[in-house]
Amino acid sequence: MYYYVYVLLSEKDGNKYVGYTNNLKRRLVIHNAGRVRSTRNRLPMKLVHFEGCLDRADATRREKYLKTSWGKRYIRNRLENYLTG
């Protein structure tokens, strides 16, 4: 089974959310249905980045990294052109 680390962008407040899942399409639907406490007040959420991982342990390590200051900087640099036009 494959896992995905993903970054969502709130269209309401412009903040990002990082998570992981084994079903990316379903997880995005769950987020936008307001069923995730962390994002329900920031809807709608838009998928702006995802990475595939071979196992859950790799996905959780990558998720934790992307939540650090270095990881946030990586995402900001990676999405710079996308987010600024």
The average confidence (pLDDT) of the chain is 95
pLDDT band at 9 (very low <50, low <70, confident <90, very high): very high
Query: If DSSP states are collapsed to H, E and C, what string results for the chain?
Result: CCEEEEEEEECCCCCEEEEEECCHHHHHHHHHCCCCCCCHHHCCEEEEEEEEECCHHHHHHHHHHHCCHHHHHHHHHHHHHHHHC
pLDDT, one tens digit per residue, over 14-44 is: 999 999 999 999 999 999 999 999 999 999 9
CATH (domain of 52): 3.40.1440
pLDDT band at 3 (very low <50, low <70, confident <90, very high): very high
Q: What pLDDT is recorded for position 19?
A: 98
User: How many separate domains does the chain show?
Assistant: 1
- Domain encompassing residue 37: 3-84
Indicate whether 61 pLDDT > 90. Answer: yes
